[in-house]
Structure 1
Amino acid sequence: MPDPTLIPVKASSIDTWSYESDVLVAGFGIAGATAAIEAARAGADVLVLERLGGAGGAAAMSGGFIYLGGGTPLQNALGFDDSAENMKAFMKAALGPGVDDAKIDAYCDGSVDHFNWLIDAGVVFDESFWGEPGWEPPHSEGLMYSGGENSAPFNKVIPPAPRGHLPRKSASDDGEQAGGYMLMKPLIETAEALGARTLYDSRVQALVIDENNRVVGLTVRQYGVSIAIKARRGVVLATGSFAYDDTMLRDHAPRIEGRPAASIESHDGRAILMSQAIGAATAHMDATEVAIFCDPQLMARGILVNGRGQRYINEDTYPGRIAQETLLHQGGDAFLIIDELLYEKALQTESTSAIMRGTPKWVCESVEELENEIGLPKGSLQSTVELFNHHAASGSDPVFSKKSEWLTPITTPIAAYDLRGMTGGFTLGGLKTTVDAEVLHVSGEPIPGLFAAGRCTSGVCAGGYASGASLGDSSFFGRRAGKRAAAR
């Protein structure tokens, strides 16, 4: 059914404004918090709307990685050389196709400054490095490879550097005090200390426009009542992705329909739809991050095969790349093949995803038997294992260039994990914005008074992903949105 509340409201039709502010921010996750901070520092009166009963959004429940580089103080302290140019080269190679070069250039050139800005806001990063495969460090290590920078095909052409910066966890192992929580806590406190006001349990409905089609406010549903809130300078949309709107997923990113991950139910795409209602452009609406629910310590040691019994990726790369390749290009069919010795070695390692280890579905005495048990084409797995073992014995992988440290011939007993259906993700596409977070009309011109950041926009990721890119570009362009809105 059509939703009439999405249709823009004329300011002339509003009799009473329930609240007013210079800058009105919709969403109190990381994009909204950083926008509020910068707008307040620019002297604006800031009001933040949050649909839920508390601040933090999906960012507060995430692992907390922020993708930063170019020679941050943490990289330098731990002995890793990086440059803005190398960071740009990697991001443009790994996050496409079709990346916004201007956004990546701005992001990489400003990365060290953004790191220092986070430090000044109270975010703490431990001066330690975690170099094992995994989704995130098991302790409070502050730096990790988080995008496959040190694996093929990137490590052959771009000097690798770890760029996954993780805020220090609290002393407790409670998930609410993990990296994402410890990232958002000081940002929320900073915004509030600067005078940003907050209205919770407030769901945005539509944009309010004046006679010149400038955005001057929002209509909001609060405790069952619709109200209007005026923005004297600008509106910043920071309400998250559309991972929980099945209609939008079916239209744009059907492969992750019914399998949301790393997102929350308030990620319903509302900001995108109500902006489209006034002519806003969108980009990369089909782009998705994908996670695969298997411990990277296992995957790095084994081989991944598709429904034809063939390898399809280097298993030592970023698990998000493995997941995207599995779901988007292999139809979601994946089996992890591993022998007893490699399985036992993986179980002895530390991992935050040890819960994803479980036990293999099939255990057999021969590759032929395992092939039959899985139901793979006759001879397919046997030839795959034979080819892999032939080259692994000499420490090479001419097919996918897996690093030699993970190349061990697969022996028997042999086992397989069934990874079919073991993926989930969130959307990366959204409103098309400038490097200053201005929302663009389909004509290519900025829509006056409207700004956006975070997962309701198309940021630095156009297809590929690296852990931390979402919180990174959400916070970086959230800052720009707040500054720009305050300056209007």
Structure 2
Amino acid sequence: MSDIDVLVIGSGIAGLSAAIAARQAGAESVIIAEAAGGIGGASRLSSGLIVGAGTAMQATAGIADSAELMFRDYMNANQWGLDGGVTRRLAAESGPTIDWLVSLGAEFHPTPVSGGYETQPRCAVAIDEGQGLIDALARAARNLDIDVALGQRVDRLLVKDGVVVGAAVGDDELSASAVIIASGGFGSNPEKIAEFYPSLAKAGDWLWYVGEDGSHGDAIDLGQQVGARITGHDTGCSMLAPGFTRSHETYLPGWLVIVDPDGQRFIAENAHYSALDRQAVLRGGRFFVLFDSQALDPEAAKATPFYAGGSKAYPGRTERTSPNWNPDILREMVAAGRIPFADSIAELAVAVGVPDDQLEATIAEYNEGAQAGLDRMGKYPEFLRPLEKSPFYAAEIRLSEIVITGTGLQIDPEARVLDALGCPIPGLFAAGEATGGVIWPFYPSSGSSLGHGAAFGRVAGTNAAARSIAGA
């Protein structure tokens, strides 16, 4: 006889969704073990965008969408390299999950938005961002008498005859009919970043994580104890940043010109952050951005928009100033010697160690396209600001800001954790950032992380409850 029906490890959107779903599916006793001193994990720090296809909000807004369209978008974005069964289940559950969140009291702005390159706008935007979602789920959990044990970092799974039968915190053991791992990623663990996200480890002391300080990769440690398959190596969501501040900035200003160490452009600078991330990984993660004196002039800087759609603000978000690329910060960094400058592009190339002939050719071609309003890389015309007013500046940027880690436990469409042979480990489920390979290597859209966390949290909770009721 188990002490409880379902034990959930972690209290972010995946863990809370799992616990609530388990209670709604008939589990009588559900406990959440949370390592931190408060609930919410990295989810509470998020922007609160969550992806779902075929939602009531979309229908009200006149947006025709479906799970099939979302499935194709995700698969196409990743060149059909995703687990098709898991992706199809995610797409099928995504819309009903957002409607379920609304039924639990989560509040969203009425009109879904586009979060990337999806075929239909399917991002629901939470009022009060990630904290608003967590607050609603926490209230629902309290109403269902779900206990949350704070400051309890689970360090061991209990196993009997190959079946996971509970977990332990030090010498304190708790048996459960099913265990759900929803403990998040490993963005604050340098050792795990070096092992599982080496593309970001290259950033060295520039590296930082926007999420929860307690994101140490417990899911991987727990899974390895029971022979779980770890998947999604060297994937995640990261941002290119100059290292001036440790302020999260999702998009680079579109008017910057990005070149690689050979002095060549490789992408339209106004591309979605997931596209920049992926292309930067493939090219080594270290680049330079070029601009001229206009960027340091407060009046001239206003002439060109920073982000697609103006401020790149979603409903309920206020107009914001770039924390890294505003004139005040740029002048400060120039004065501090952080940004080299020169009177010519050739001299600037020498200053940063880029081939001068190639950089001159690159900027000449860019300027010609900017004057014509047609960029070779396809940058939107509104961002085409020629580099023509000396002095010219070059700031180094690196893939250095970790937003989400993508390596974790492999699951099947029922959110069951798989072993090294691809077989389900009895009694063990997982959801959210604790899992790997669900939405990687190309992050399909803003809101995908919260979307798969909530959707597979529900799947895991429902199936864990069924296991408990069946007396397994």
TM-score, with length taken from structure 1:
0.81
Matched, 1:37 2:20: yes
Matched, 1:247 2:191: yes
**Count of aligned positions:** 430
Amino acid at match of 1:307: P
Aligned to 2:255: 301
Aligned to 1:138: none
| Cα distance in 1, alignment partners of residues 302 and 342 from structure 2 | 16
| Cα distance in 2, alignment partners of residues 41 and 283 from structure 1 | 31
Shift of 1:362: 4.4
Unaligned runs of 5+ residues in structure 2 are 243-248, 312-318, 332-338, 468-472
Q: Secondary structure of 1:354's match?
A: coil
Q: Could you tell me whether the CA contact under 8 Å between 1:303 and 1:338 is conserved in 2?
A: no
Matched, 1:420 2:389: no
CA 1:101–1:368: 2 relative to 1, 3 Å: same
Shift of 1:34: 0.2
Q: Which digits, 9 at most, give the CA deviation of each residue in 1:401-444, with x for residues without a partner?
A: 23344334443246435133462214211111011110011122
Matched, 1:394 2:375: no
Shift of 1:327: 4.5
CA 1:297–1:23: 2 relative to 1, 3 Å: closer
Q: How does 1:37-436 map to 2 (within 5 A)?
A: 37-44=20-27, 45-68=29-52, 70-78=53-61, 80-95=63-78, 98-127=81-110, 143-147=112-116, 149=117, 160-169=119-128, 179-210=129-160, 212-221=161-170, 226-231=171-176, 233-257=177-201, 259-293=207-241, 299-337=253-291, 340=294, 343-346=301-304, 350=311, 351-352=319-320, 354-357=322-325, 358-359=329-330, 361-398=339-376, 400-413=377-390, 415-421=392-398, 423-425=400-402, 426-436=404-414
Amino acid at match of 1:344: K
Aligned-residue CA RMSD (Å): 2.6
| Cα distance in 1, alignment partners of residues 257 and 65 from structure 2 | 31
Q: Secondary structure of 2:154's match?
A: strand
Aligned to 1:175: none
Q: Which digits, 9 at most, give the CA deviation of each residue in 1:65-88, with x for residues without a partner?
A: 2123x3434445556554433322
Greater displacement, 416-425 / 117-126: 416-425
Q: What stretches of structure 1 move > 6 A for 4+ residues in a row?
A: none
| Cα distance in 1, alignment partners of residues 72 and 375 from structure 2 | 25
| Cα distance in 2, alignment partners of residues 58 and 298 from structure 1 | 23
Unaligned runs of 5+ residues in structure 1 are 1-16, 129-142, 150-158, 170-178
Greater displacement, 452-461 / 321-330: 321-330
CA 1:106–1:40: 2 relative to 1, 3 Å: same
Q: Which digits, 9 at most, give the CA deviation of each residue in 1:314-336, with x for residues without a partner?
A: 11111243234335523422324
Aligned to 1:486: 465
CA 1:213–1:112: 2 relative to 1, 3 Å: same
| Cα distance in 2, alignment partners of residues 30 and 198 from structure 1 | 14
CA 1:474–1:439: 2 relative to 1, 3 Å: same
Q: Secondary structure of 2:378's match?
A: coil
| Cα distance in 1, alignment partners of residues 222 and 250 from structure 2 | 40
| Cα distance in 2, alignment partners of residues 49 and 299 from structure 1 | 41
Q: Which digits, 9 at most, give the CA deviation of each residue in 1:273-313, with x for residues without a partner?
A: 22222211121122121122375776312321112211111
Amino acid at match of 2:301: Y
Q: Secondary structure of 2:175's match?
A: strand
1:477 aligned to which of 453, 456, 468: 456
Q: Percent identity?
A: 30
| Cα distance in 2, alignment partners of residues 404 and 77 from structure 1 | 33
